[in-house]
Amino acid sequence: MTTQLPELPGPQPSGPQADWSGSSSPYSTDSAYSTYSGYTPDEPNNSARPPSRRVRVAALVAGACVMTLGAGTLGGAIGYLAARDSLATGPLQVAAASSLSAPASGSIAAVAAAVQPSVVQLDVSGDAGSGTGSGFVIRDDGYIVTNNHVAGSAKSSGSIKVSFADGTTADGTLVGANPGYDIAVVKVDRANLDAIAMGSSAGLVVGDSVIAVGSPLGLQGTVTTGIVSALNRPVTAGGEGEMAFINAIQTDAAINPGNSGGPLVDSTGAVIGVNSAIASMSSGLGQPGSIGLGFAIPFDTVKRIVDEIISSGSSSTPVIGVKLEMAFTGPGAKVAEITGDGPAEMAGLATGDLITKLNGQLIADATSLIVTIRANAPGDQVMLTVVRGDKTLNIPVTLDALKS
């Protein structure tokens, strides 16, 4: 579910070139994960035929959020087997009920119990349609974090219904969003909410245990577990002019349609990412569900964006002021043009420069450079390693800001 919002900073194709001056609309590359197509239920078969005795479960397909057309429901059948020719005789043996104890500290059960009260389901309707996603309470005075592709369609018109873990609901309003990071903030008129514990994505290592909580297919409060599979994974996702560039945390925790906007937490229950996208294998039945390739926006980046939105209603995106050759497959990102009076010009970058590293991190291609820049904040100074002819240069650049 998407809606037209102000153009986000990102590369703009101009033939083989793309603008990274921060003034243009986004453009994805073949190397990116494009995983934001929504879920649309298959049309029911209305042909006149006897109903099958078997219950058929609709295919569950992957996407950024659950798209609902009309009043869709997810149903299940519970069956039982009974003996046909005999009944049990004699007294029934009833097992004594075991005493229930609190989950052990640090266990998945304990983390789930601590996190679930902070996680919400968002039912959003707007010009682009309606859908279901997830979110989490970031402040006890009613502020909720989610994805832009979940809540963004309610910007100009529409509605947001927030469902809490205790069964209560409230109307939400969109405070602001940054489509370039796929982050949005929703506000409800509630106090004393259970705010999630805030962690940091900076110290994550591959193999760390993580837990995803959300409403896949509208199944509120679903908990799945996994590990950090990779870090700094360049991912692009979005649609209809709202492409997001994410320096993502990759996880094998099951993430499905409806998980979007929900928290990815560590083994202490502190949020370290916002679930945003999945990669899926194509299928003749439509888009499949989780194949163990989920992507979350690192929380250190999310927190900066959210703090800015809450304080001012908008947020900033870092830019360096160049156009990149998106057709160049790397390694490295090739500068096609320098934007006048931008950070790159002031730092001394030149057309034709090949950017191979940023702060020592290898740059694979243009998309890799964009998401690596966005892992920083406006005003940060980054060190670019640049190949110019037969020379290798280290050029410091101070990132500029573009409001979203």
Contacts (Cβ under 8 Å, ≥6 apart) of 184 = 145, 146, 147, 148, 150, 151, 152, 174, 175, 176, 177, 178, 261, 309
- Maximum distance among all alpha carbons in the chain? 92
For the chain, residues with pLDDT lower than 70 are 1-102, 238-242, 282-288, 404
What pLDDT was estimated at residue 122? 96
What pLDDT was estimated at residue 12? 32
Question: Which among 149, 201, 290, 316 is annotated as catalytic?
Answer: 149
At the fourth CATH level, the homologous superfamily of domain 115-188 is: Trypsin-like serine proteases (2.40.10.10)
Q: Is 140 a catalytic residue?
A: no
What pLDDT was estimated at residue 158? 87
Question: Which among 19, 182, 252, 400 is annotated as catalytic?
Answer: 182
Domain boundaries, the chain: 7-38+107-114+197-404, 115-188
At the fourth CATH level, the homologous superfamily of domain 7-38+107-114+197-404 is: Trypsin-like serine proteases (2.40.10.10)
Contact (Cβ atoms closer than 8 angstroms) between residue 336 and residue 302? no
What pLDDT was estimated at residue 25? 34
Helices vs strands, H then E, count in the chain: 5, 23
**Which is nearest to 188 in space by CA: 262, 258, 120, 127?**
120
- DSSP string for 59-89: PP--SSSEEE-SS------------SS----
Q: What distance in Å separates the CA atoms of residue 325 and residue 366, rounded to the nearest whole number?
A: 7
**Opening angle at CA 354, ends 348 and 355, nearest 5:** 75
Q: Is 215 a catalytic residue?
A: no
**Opening angle at CA 332, ends 331 and 333, nearest 5:** 135
What pLDDT was estimated at residue 404? 66
> Half-sphere exposure (CA, 13 Å, Cβ side) for 201?
25
What pLDDT was estimated at residue 111? 96
Q: Which two tokens stand for residue 151?
A: 């809540």
Burial class (CB in 10 A: 0-12, 13-18, 19+), 282: exposed
Contact (Cβ atoms closer than 8 angstroms) between residue 200 and residue 227? no
**Which is nearest to 10 in space by CA: 26, 31, 34?**
26
What pLDDT was estimated at residue 47? 38
What is the value of pTM for the model shown? 0.74
Question: Which among 229, 260, 276, 290 is annotated as catalytic?
Answer: 260
Question: Between β-strands 13-14 and 222-237, what pairing exists: parallel, antiparallel or unpaired?
Answer: unpaired
Q: Is 153 a catalytic residue?
A: no
Q: What distance in Å separates the CA atoms of residue 386 and residue 335, rounded to the nearest whole number?
A: 10
